[in-house]
Amino acid sequence: MSVIDKLRLDHAHMVGLLRHMVRIRRFEEKCAELYTQEKIRGFLHLYDGEEAIASGIIPVLTAEDRIVATYREHGHALVRDVPMTTVMAEMYGKAEGCSGGRGGSMHLFDAATNFYGGNAIVGGGLPLAAGLALADRMQGKDSVTACFFGEGAVAEGEFHETMNLAQLWALPVLFVCENNNYAMGSALARTEAETDISAKAACYGIHSEAVDGMDVVAMEAAARRAIQRIRETGAPVFLEARTYRFRAHSMFDAQLYRDKNEVEEWRRKGPIVRFQGWLMDNKLIREADIAKIEADIDAEITEAVAFAEAGTWEPVEDLEKHVLGAQPSPPVPAKPSGQTEEITYREAVKRAIREAIERDDRVFLMGEDVGAYGGCYAVTKGLMAELGEDRIRDTPLSESGFTGAGIGAAAAGMRPIVELMTVNFSLLALDQILNTAATLRHMSGGQFDVPLVIRMATGAGKQLAAQHSHSLEGWYAHIPGLKVLAPATIEDARGMLWTALEDPDPVLIFENVMLYNRTGPIDKNAGVVPISGAAIRRPGTDISLITYGGSLHKTLEAAGQLADEGIEAEVIDLRSLRPLDDETIVESVARTRRALIVDEGWRSGSLAAEISARIMEKGFWHLDAPVGRVCAAEVPIPYPKHLEDAAIPQVGSIVDGARAVMGR
C-alpha cells in the first residue's frame, strides 16, 4: 500500500484535521488579545488563514523527522505537539517557555520534538534545514527535514543557494513555501519577475508541486506524496502552498497596502470555513462535534494562559546563561617525545584535518575548491583522494548556503569543518554566522549545541588587493556566542583545530596567509592545544608586546632588535581573540609597566582598542606610560607591494611603536 492510499477521511481523522486548524486559530486569537494587553511584546506574526498547511503536513512526519519553521511558527509548533503551555509561556518570555524565555514569539524551539525553531531572518532557515538533512544523509538515517518559509524568501540568496545544494547533494528536505501573496507589505507581483514559485525550484531540478494551501485535504495528500518520494529517492521535494494571511504581517502593520475587500473575499474561502462547511454539508460532522472541539481548545488555552501568568522571570543573574555551552576540561597536551620534524604551517593544518576525520566519524570538511582543487592555499591538496568525497566536500560558490548547512549539520550532531576561502568572502556568510551559529544556543534556551569549526585565510602580504587581504577577525571577536582563534605557530595550527572540534560552540579559526609557507619544528608526539589562553613567546621586563597570528613573528623579530638597544620586550601571543586571556595580559603589564598592541586590523574600532581598554580598566595603576598601538592604516589594502607593506604592521613600525611607549 502506498503512502497515498493511507490518506483516509474517517471521522476521527477529519475531526483531527479540523481540530488542528481551529486550535491554531483560537490560540492566536488569544495571543492577539494578550498582545493588545501588552502581555506579549515585540513582533507577533499570526498564521490566521494559513492553518491548513501546518495541519496537513506536520502530522504526516514521524517523530524522528525534523522541522525548521519561519517567524510565523506558532501553528507549526502546536501541530508538532510542542505543549501549548510552554508555547504560551515563551510568548510571555517566561523561564518556563519552550525556549526558556530567550526566544519569544519568533523563536520557538523544542528539542524533544525535533522542532528546530522559528527563524526571524527571511530565508535564514533554509541552509539550516539543508545541514540537518545532510547530517541525516551522512549518518545513514532515513529522516526527512521539513522547512517552512514564506514567498518573500525566494528573493534571498539563501533560497537559491540552498535549492542548488539540496539537489546537488540529494538531501532529504521537504521545502514548503507558504505563499500568502505578500512579503510584509509587498505584493508578490511587485517584487518577483516570475511569480510561479514552484517553477523557480523546478529550475534546479527539484521535483516541485503547487498546492491549494487553503485545502487541508489537498495539503495532506501532497505531503504524503512528497514525503514518500523523499524517502524513496533521498532527493528533495518542493511544495508551494498557495494561501493567504487574513491578518496583518505583524501586529504593528496597518495593512495600508491591500484592499479590505480582498481580505474579505479570501476569508470566505478560508481553510476552516471551507473544510468545516464541507464536513457539515456532507453530514460528516455535527454541530455537537464542533462545539466539543472548541470547548476543549478553549479550556486548553485557559490552562496555557494560567501557566504563563504563573510562570517566573529568569533572574537577571542568569543574563549570560546559554551564550556558550558547558566548557570541556582543558585538554592535556601530550608529553614531548624529544623528536621533532620540520614541517610547514600548511602541512600542520592539513595533518590536523586528516587526523580529525580519521579519528571521528562525525568530522567532515566542506568548502569551495577544498577537494579536487586541493584548496586555494593547497592546504587540503590530496585529501579528497585519501578520505573520499563524502568527507572532503567541494561546495558551490555559496558561502551563506554551505556555512548555514554546516551549522545545521552541527546542530544535528556532526562535527563539520567549513572552509571559507578568504576572510573577505566570509562576509557573504555573516548572516548565518552571526544570526544562527552565534545565537542558536541562546535563543533555544540551551537546547541546541553548534559544534562547528569555520576556517578562513586572513591578512595581507601577497598583493591580492582590497577584496582578498583584510584582517577582520576583530569584527568576529565582537560577537558573543563565538570563539575566535588565531594560531600563529606550527603546533597551534595543528593542535588548536583538534581542540576546537571537541568544543560545543562555534569556533572560528583565522589562518594568516603569510604563515602557510612558514616552516618550523613540531614534536612527533604533539597533540591537542588549549584554545582559551595566551602564551608568552618571549619573556621580558621592560614592555609587553601583545599580538597574534601573522604579526607574531614580526613582533618577535622586533623584540630582538629592541634587545640590541637594551629594551627587553615580553611578547604575548594572544592565540584566542574571543575569549581574551585578560589574566595573562594584565599580569604581563603589571611586570613590565608598559604595553604595545600589534594588530593587523584597522585602528578605529580595532581589537587593539578593546585590549587597550581592558588594560586601562584592570591594570591602569600598573602603567608608567599610555598603551601604544600599531595597527593597519585606515585604507583598503592596496595592490602595489610598497603600499601594501606600508598599510600593515612591519618590524620597523613595531620597533618605532615600542620606542615611543618607552619614551625614546
How would residue 5 be classed by pLDDT, with cut points 50, 70 and 90? Answer: very low
Which of 88, 18, 11 has the alpha carbon at shortest distance from 55? 18
The verdict on 50 and 163 lying in the same domain is yes
Average pLDDT in the 228-252 region?
Answer: 91
Is 549 in the same domain as 507? Answer: no
Q: Does residue 140 fall inside a structural domain? A: yes
Residue 3 has pLDDT above 50, yes or no: no
CA distance 107 to 71: 7
The x, y and z cell numbers of residue 349, run together, are 593544518
* C-alpha span between 463 and 633 (Å, rounded): 16
Please check whether residue 31 lies inside any domain of the structure. Answer: yes
In a domain, 43, yes or no: yes
What CATH number did the domain enclosing 597 receive?
3.40.50.920
- Same domain for 496 and 381, yes or no, is yes
- Other residues' Cβ atoms within 10 Å of the Cβ of residue 256: 6
Among candidate residues 175, 179, 178, the one with its CA nearest the CA of residue 237: 175
Write the CA distances from 143 to 116, 231, 256, integer angstroms.
14, 8, 43
User: What is the grid cell recorded at 42?
Assistant: 515585540
CA dist., res. 261 & res. 431, Å (int) = 38
Q: Which of 324, 527, 338, 327 is nearest to 442 (CA)?
A: 324
Query: Domain range holding 493?
Result: 340-523
Cβ-count burial of 39 within 10 angstroms (0-12 exposed, 13-18 middle, 19+ buried)? middle
At 175, the amino acid letter reads F
pLDDT tens for 520-537 read: 999 988 889 989 899 999
List, for residues 628-640, the tens digit of each pLDDT value: 999 999 999 999 9
Among 30, 20, 22, 17, which Cα is nearest to 307's? 30
Asked if 399 is an active-site residue, the reply is: yes
Contacts within 8 Å (CB) and 24+ apart, 267-270: 267/49, 269/214, 270/49, 270/214, 270/246
pLDDT at res. 6: 55
Diameter of the chain by CA atoms? 99
Pair 496, 567 in one domain: no
Determine the average pLDDT of the residues in 567-584: 97
Same domain, 264 and 362: no
Examine residue 513 and state whether it is found in any structural domain, yes or no: yes
With a cut of 80, say whether residue 109 has pLDDT above it.
yes
Residue 246 banded pLDDT, cuts 50, 70, 90: confident
Residue among 373, 57, 78, 87 nearest 225 (CA): 57
Query: Quick one: 519 and 542 in the same domain?
Result: no
User: In terms of Cα–Cα distance, which of 94, 91, 113 is closest to 104?
Assistant: 91
C-alpha to C-alpha distance for 92 and 86, rounded to whole angstroms: 10
Q: Within its chain, how far is the Cα of 66 from the centroid?
A: 17
- Whether the predicted pLDDT of 174 surpasses 70: yes
Catalytic residue selected from 20, 74, 107, 468: 468
Kind of pairing, strands 415-420 and 392-394? unpaired
Measured CA to CA, the distance from residue 504 to residue 482 in angstroms comes to 10
249-253, 396-400, 458-462 — which one is most confidently predicted on average? 396-400
325 within domain boundaries: no
Report the percentage of the chain scoring pLDDT > 90.
86
| Chosen domain end from 494, 523, 552 | 523
pLDDT tops 90 at residue 481? yes
User: How many domains is the chain built from?
Assistant: 3
Does residue 544 share a domain with residue 490? no
Task: Spot the catalytic one: 28, 96, 156, 399.
Answer: 399
Q: Give me the sign of the Cα torsion angle 596, 602, 607, 612.
A: positive
C-alpha cell at 322: 546559554
Compute the distance between CA of residue 141 and CA of residue 53 in angstroms, rounded to an integer.
26
pLDDT tens per residue across span 21-34:
999 999 999 999 99
Neighbouring residues of 636: CB distance < 8 A, sequence distance ≥ 6: 466, 470
Q: How far apart are the first and last CA of the chain?
A: 88
Query: Is 8's pLDDT higher than 90?
Result: no
Query: Cell 501573496 sits at which residue?
Result: 181
pTM of the model: 0.95
The SS3 of residue 24 is helix
Q: Are residues 348 and 425 in the same domain?
A: yes
Q: Indicate whether 227 and 147 sit together in one domain.
A: yes
What CATH number does the domain containing 416 carry? 3.40.50.970
For residue 454, the cross-strand partners are 418, 508
Helix (H), strand (E), coil (C) string for 203-270: CCCCEEEEEECCCHHHHHHHHHHHHHHHHHHCCCEEEEEECCCCCCCCCCCCCCCCCHHHHHHHHCCC
pLDDT of residue 219: 97
505-523 CB burial, b ≥16 within 10 A, e <16: bbbbbbbbbbbbebebebb
DSSP line for 442-486: HHTTS------EEEEEE---SS--TTT----HHHHTTSTT-EEE-
CB 454 within 8 A of CB 403: yes
Same domain, 519 and 540: no
Spatial separation of the C-alpha atoms in residues 501 and 453, rounded to whole Å:
6
User: In this predicted structure, what is the pLDDT of residue 2?
Assistant: 41
- In the numeric block, the cell 509587498 is attached to 186
Active site residue 13: no
Burial class (CB in 10 A: 0-12, 13-18, 19+), 431: buried
- Residue 326: inside a domain: no
The domain boundary residue, chosen from 473, 503, 523: 523
pLDDT reading at 179 higher than 50: yes
What is the amino acid identity at position 7? L
332, part of any domain: no
Q: What pLDDT, on the 0 to 100 scale, is given for residue 474?
A: 95
Q: Cβ neighbours of residue 516 under 8 Å, at least 6 residues apart?
A: 344, 345, 346, 377, 378, 379, 457
Mark which of 465, 496, 523 sits at the end of a domain.
523
Average pLDDT, the chain: 94
User: What average pLDDT does the segment 641-654 reach?
Assistant: 95
Per the domain annotation, does 355 fall within a domain?
yes
Q: For 45-61, how does the pLDDT look when each residue is reduced to its tens digit (9 = 90+)? A: 889 999 999 999 999 99
39-96 residue pLDDT tens: 999 999 889 999 999 999 999 999 999 999 999 999 999 999 999 999 999 999 999 9
Considering the domain architecture, whether residues 406 and 480 belong to the same structural domain is answered as: yes
Chain centroid, CA 378 distance in Å: 27
Please tell me the distance from the alpha carbon of residue 307 to that of residue 302, in angstroms, as a whole number. Answer: 9
Q: DSSP state, 436?
A: I
Q: How many C-beta neighbours within 10 Å does residue 386 have?
A: 12
Q: 208 pLDDT band (50/70/90 cuts)?
A: very high
pLDDT tens track for 577-615 = 999 999 999 999 999 999 999 999 999 999 999 999 999
- Same domain for 406 and 293: no
Among 267-276, 411-420, 479-488, whose mean pLDDT is lowest? Answer: 267-276
Closest CA to 538 of 516, 515, 519, 558: 558
Contacts of 67 (CB under 8 A, 6+ apart): 58, 61, 76, 80, 113, 114, 115, 116, 145, 146, 147, 148
Q: 555 Cβ partners below 8 Å, 6+ apart? A: 545, 547, 571, 598, 654
C-alpha–C-alpha distance, residues 251 and 21, integer Å? 21
